[in-house]
Amino acid sequence: MKSYNITSNDADQRLDKFLKKLLPNASLSYIYKLSRKWNIKVITLQNKKTKQDKDYKLTEGEQVQIFLSDTDIDKLQEREQKKVRIEWKQKLSQRDIVFEDNDILILNKPSGINVHPWDHKSEEISLIEQVHDYYLGSLDSLTFKPSLIHRIDRETSGIIMVAKSKKALTKLGDDFKKHDALKKIYFCIVVWKVSRKSGTITKKLRRIENAKSENKVQISEAWHEAITHYKLINEYKVQLPLWEQIISTLEVTIETGRMHQIRVHMAALWNPILWDKNYWDRKLNSYFSKYFHINRQMLHAWKIDFFHPITKKITKVEAKPRDDMQAFIQLLRK
């Protein structure tokens, strides 16, 4: 028999879901069978040992007891772990932390790193693996470890939020699905002069699964709502070998969080993100690589305003554009 104490990060979930996370090799039918045979018991806050049904919601301070041999429990808990060795150069940098408290970590992500190890089926170290290495398991519970609240593209830099507690993950995860629960502002550098100094794009987007020769996200009026607001910050003229190129910097606010939303919407206005490999001209990108040493899309998650799930206060966080974007802006100003 083994006993498991329920912490705040394991509480407020159904007993069957807790057991499925705790015993990943056990099927739900087997978990229900164990419960029927009194192999699963909960010691409540009143210190009563009771058999509970699968819908029972666990409370912090309770204890779950599993009446099986240690060998059987170990087998049910076994999972294939990806062995991750993070060299010192790959470790999370303190300078990339822009906000941290007991429940939330906010990072200024560099361009060129996946936020999750499953993205792009890459063997590279991901941002969340850096976070887990940074905390060394000190925030892990029986069924929770620091988790991404949302995602941004590999080549996009800027704000990424990580939940250090389950309550923060649940509340902010829900807020990201709503239109008005938080405010997400991006800074971007686009090609050409924008036709208006400010505007709103409402073109619906379709995601193409397993796209190969076509773009992964396309405009399609029969699909998902997407709302993007933009405002001109500045315009610059750049002399290229064969012509003079206008470059614009924009502040972009999104109400929805569709994949590639800003990139597709700006391309639809004929103001694509500079150096976007999917939604703009690669020949023009090569000019900027050669003469300005740009090698990633000029899109940065700049600011976020959110309702803190614990303090209940509006929290505003800003992540300054990364060094490569700032250096390019300085060149444009000259």
Reply yes or no on whether the pLDDT at 119 is more than 70.
no
Q: Is residue 209 scored above 80 in pLDDT?
A: no
Q: What percent of the chain has pLDDT over 70?
A: 96
Q: Which CATH number fits domain 2-77: 3.30.70.890, 3.10.290.10, 3.20.20.300, 3.40.50.300?
A: 3.10.290.10
With a cut of 70, say whether residue 79 has pLDDT above it.
Answer: yes
Provide the whole-model pTM.
0.91
Architecture of the domain whose range is 88-333: 2-Layer Sandwich (3.30)
- The pLDDT of residue 121 is 61
What is the per-residue pLDDT across 49-62, written as a single tens digit (0 to 9) for each? 887 788 899 999 99
Distance separating alpha carbons of residues 150 and 72, to the nearest angstrom: 36
Q: Which of 107, 170, 134 is nearest to 319 (CA)?
A: 107
153-179: per-residue pLDDT in tens? 999 999 999 999 999 999 999 999 888
Instruction: Name the band, by pLDDT with cuts 50, 70 and 90, for residue 283.
Output: confident
Mean pLDDT calculated for residue range 267-276? 95
Structure tokens at 237: 């003229």
Residue 118: per-residue pLDDT: 67
pLDDT tens-digit map of 221-268: 878 899 999 999 999 998 877 788 899 999 999 999 999 999 999 999
Amino acid 17 reads K
Domain ranges in the chain are: 2-77, 88-333
Residue 81 pLDDT: 62
Percent of the chain scoring above 90 in pLDDT? 73
